Amino acid sequence: MKALLALEDGRTFGCRSFTGPGEASGEVVFNTSMTGYQEILTDPSYRGQLVAMTYPLIGNYGVNPEDVESAGIQAEAFIIREYQAHPSNHRMTASLADYLSARGKLGVDQLDTRALTRHIRKAGAMRACISTSDLDPVSLAEKAESIPAMVGLDLVSTVSSRAPWYWKDGRPAPGPNLYENPGPSVWKQAGGAFRVAAFDFGTKYNILRCLEAAGCEILVLPAATDAETVRQLAPDGIFLSNGPGDPEPVGYAVETIRKLIGFRPVFGICLGIQLLGLALGGRTYKLKFGHHGGNQPVQDLETKKVAITAQNHGFAVDVDSLDARKAEITHMNLNDDTVEGFRHLEYPLFAVQYHPEAAPGPNDATYLFKEFTKQMNDFR
């Protein structure tokens, strides 16, 4: 089925839908990962975005119920060069086309993803619209231009959970009613498990898997949970998750984080580092085309070691905006010198811009989860 992608600047790309009729719009970004398309599609950080894969052959191993990073597909649409209609893998339970179409998501192929990627790298990430029914370039570009820009958009409220829930034995489980029971009795595990209150700004499941593997009992909290509720829970540590969009409109979370600094050890990932940066008085800004993929080189400024990391974000902390008397930069991106990590100089607080849990991507940085448990143990 013929389809057309139009960017807000008027550039168009012909393609075809392999999932049937439909239309989708959002900010178009490219991802450089060679595998892991199911994890990418279900990553809440992609809410509001059309994802284009730079690797040309996608769909060859199908999908399965185990490789998901949230409760559903989060990307608005999927853009690839060549769809593999005959997948083969011993774990697969469905094809990529069936997976997308069953959830009402548009997938297109036969699009020149190399040309699209080069255009985004030169002009920057921008709004786009894909349609199988409206093939008029002018009309489609006008639709793209009419959708809200990513800057100033609070997407966290669209992906965060509405009620608390536990992560237990590798899967979500019903959580407590914090209105009736806001105290430390919500923790169920006896013994030495570290009690972690994890803010859900759009968290990936594999982050929770890694925290559990590191010896943590995890209570996942809605993004709008206030500081006093967290204090009443008396956790051993506080985790700030990844999530979509611009961090600045998420002022309610910034205010909560500011009130919790120094209360317990804090660990932030992706959007978590940006919210922490704002809470410490810093600023954030939008990157030209973001970091999306599993091959971003990050240097630890203390050890000088370089890790290849998985990343997915369109905003970053302004390195010059952080008060050097409060925060120390610990990691930098070797491609563009953007902030990849910092720690507080007085309190047990650290954060990274990249994804140490990967999924998909390399596992060079999984040691950070143990570093978090060490901080909680020392704080006890």
Q: Which of 76, 248, 270, 292 is catalytic?
A: 270
In the block, residue with structure tokens 């807000």: 8
Q: Which of 291, 292, 313, 355 is catalytic?
A: 355
267 phi and psi, to 5 degrees? -130, 125
Q: Which of 8, 39, 248, 357 is catalytic?
A: 357
Q: How far apart are CA 85 and CA 105, in angstroms?
A: 17
Is residue 27 part of the annotated active site? The answer reads no
Q: Which amino acid is at 259?
A: K
Is residue 270 part of the annotated active site? The answer reads yes
Q: How far apart are CA 34 and CA 181, in angstroms?
A: 46
Residue 6 CA: distances (Å) to CA of 64, 187, 211: 32, 50, 41
Is residue 39 part of the annotated active site? The answer reads no
The residues annotated with a catalytic role in the active site are 270, 355, 357
